[in-house]
Amino acid sequence: MKISIERGTLLKAVGQAQSVVERRNTIPILANVLVEAEGDSVSFRATDLDIEVVDRVPAHVERAGATTVSAVTLHEIVRKLPDGALVQMTDDGASGRLVVEAGRSHFTLATLPKEDFPVMASSEYGSNFSAPAPVLRRLFDKSKFAISTEETRYYLNGVYMHVADGENGRVLRCVATDGHRLARIDAPLPEGADAMPGVIVPRKTVGEMRKLLDDDDAQIAVSVSETKVRFATPEITLTSKVIDGTFPDYSRVIPTANTRRLEVDAAEFAKAVDRVATVSSERSRAVKLALDEDRLVLSVNAPDSGAAEEELAVAYGDEKLEIGFNAKYLLEIASQVDRENAVFMFNSSGDPTLMREGDDTSAVFVVMPMRV
């Protein structure tokens, strides 16, 4: 194999591949990226046995071939090469070495046979549709903060992507929860997605897929089966197993009868919560919200470190209410609001609180209160 490729193109491809590779590996080949050159392109394939990413980039291929080489080492080398350098990679197959050259730099890297590289079994995807990158970006960005990190409740360690009945017909919906907070985000149902089975997309996959979604004009081809999900752009294909479990019935936790309405500027609210939470003890991080007519008093009282209080002008017309929340949860939820004011719907100090953006019900957040 002998190829020449521009440094910027190579860095992007190898960067995508090496981020899938697990740092601690008991199987040596899994630390490697499979480099395959044919025609006028080179593909870089990496896997951790749960996720597989293939990145195809244009290159000048003098001799076709394939080999595997340490993903992290190759990425580090390419990253440290000067901008605009032309990188030449040569592998003669017999020596078990890959030679990487750029300008006056010369590296020789150990390789492993390409036959040992595990290729993910292809599966039949029952549902195929395409969606604009900004739509998928919104669905996953706004929900991923609520993914649980508890390994025991493994079925909550991802985002539940499924087709649901929204207020104005069927929608593509993403839901994540950890039992303390919940995010439910809807988008118009793409053509061809009607029969999609509901799947739980793992946290790592959500993080890796996010890298495909930066280009606003991109159309992402999404394929879903009962066991796998695939996201693809013309250059990159990301295939992942889905979490084998049943996502709980989240609709039971979303309050529908909350009547006390608070409207507040989300950015101001987040800054105020952040300020008063500075004195709270790390363990509890509890912030008390005291609501009265058109005013909100945020307070923290931490016996060991001090107290803080801040008042905000808000729109609130119901009876007085005192309710406590974990400051971190409030900050995360408030930061999801892009355009309008945040609208909080309360019931009582012991019931879940609902938050949305203005009257927009396509993004709904629920947070459980704390005793303060």
Cα distance from N-terminal residue to C-terminal residue, the chain:
66
Mean pLDDT over each residue of the chain, to the nearest integer: 94
Taking the C-alpha atoms of residue 364 and residue 124, their distance in angstroms, rounded to an integer, is: 33
Structural contact between residues 3 and 87, judged by C-beta atoms closer than 8 angstroms: no
Strands (E), 133-168: 158-166
Position 88 scores a pLDDT of: 97
pTM: 0.92
Backbone φ and ψ for 122, nearest 5 degrees, come out as -75, 145
Cβ-based neighbour number of residue 92 at 10 Å? 14
Report the run of H or E that residue 13 belongs to, with start and end: helix 7-20
What is the mean pLDDT, run by run of 10 residues, along the chain of 372 residues?
A: 96 94 91 96 96 96 96 96 96 89 95 93 89 96 95 95 93 96 96 94 96 92 96 95 96 94 94 91 84 95 88 94 94 87 94 92 94 80
Position 304 scores a pLDDT of: 81
Taking the C-alpha atoms of residue 360 and residue 246, their distance in angstroms, rounded to an integer, is: 28
Structural contact between residues 231 and 317, judged by C-beta atoms closer than 8 angstroms: no
Taking the C-alpha atoms of residue 321 and residue 220, their distance in angstroms, rounded to an integer, is: 46
Cα dihedral 296, 302, 308, 311 in deg (nearest 10): 0
pLDDT digits (tens, 9 = 90+) for 211-260: 999 889 999 999 999 999 999 999 999 999 999 999 999 999 999 999 99
Taking the C-alpha atoms of residue 34 and residue 70, their distance in angstroms, rounded to an integer, is: 9
Structural contact between residues 164 and 173, judged by C-beta atoms closer than 8 angstroms: yes
Q: Could you tell me which of 356, 38, 9 has the C-alpha nearest to residue 184?
A: 356
Residues whose CB is less than 8 angstroms from the CB of residue 112 and which lie 6 or more positions away in sequence, other chains included: 28, 29, 32, 68, 69
Contacts 24+ apart (CB under 8 A), 268-271: 268/312, 269/312, 269/334, 269/342, 270/330, 270/331, 270/334, 270/335
